[in-house]
Structure 1
């Protein structure tokens, strides 16, 4: 599964799953640019990006096109995660999660689409979550955003597949990242007990799924799909 010579923009790529995807893509031969609210100082060049700001997204994609010379692969991996029961959840908490985890996917995908359709080839891969399929107590806002990202993926895929742009999603199970480390011990223990593998994943176990979807011919037949590297948490 090589992507030699492809140009990849990994949004949310300075940590967790995004960073693992960026590394995996680079190892497979791609030129990688990372975009994140926290510009990285690591292996890959990076640019600042707030996915909730429409103008910031437009500016960042323009810069990415200049620096990369084009965008062949977009990975939407920016996300936020916290906990609150619906009865206690503030509108601000709900809106922030929707803005980052769903609206951000729309804004960045929309910004790269004209360039991908013009060149007749592109891959858009969004990191969703198995909670967008099954839900979770104390995470209704997160589950709703991720379910929306999955539905958005299907709809966009139908719009642009014949233009050569393949749009798919990944719905990982719980993964050991900076976002999940602060979840309550009770939630982590309950979730671990539910998993057939009996453990959370690590980011490097999720990244190869993104590589499959990005690769040619490996990803050529995936259109509007949601792949599930989730430790058995959801069995569609």
Structure 2
């Protein structure tokens, strides 16, 4: 399988000046391949959010190499990181962060418009097809306040797919949902992974959901800890 993202010896810390230097990630090595569905687990303070920020090109590492779809990324400037992010990556968060003044369809199209400053041909049709795939075609014109929590999170997943990413980074995407709705949203991501070959890396504290992932990565004290593959 083709590599989607590779981290080699990635280190990240914060501080300097009068603040003490604290290293959060200590030489992380990690490779994700096309079509994988991977859970990222670890205790609070282990560096999961920092790792996702680096993989998502939201901040650079202090040291090490980061390669996305064959392109070296650790030393890119802000504009180049933004272009690479819009081309290859999608994001889903615990809180959906939908814009309340816009419809579900308009929210889905936001990253497409932000990436190019316009809507390319077929973008609207692609967004509507994705909404139909998650059972929300008839709600495309509704604003977030008119949708349930599970429906809002499904819109957020569709938004993450609007730019046809190679990799979706999901940070506690079911953490704000009840148990049944969380299971439904997680199952939806699995379905999209199988149908479209999109790679997913999902942070979750829900052990039952984590066990449904074919592969699990454990991050402990800023280092990848050995863990057996799980059968999903």
Normalized against structure 2, the TM-score is what? 0.30
Q: Higher Cα Rg: structure 1 or 2?
A: 2
Normalized against structure 1, the TM-score is what? 0.30
**More helix by percentage:** 1
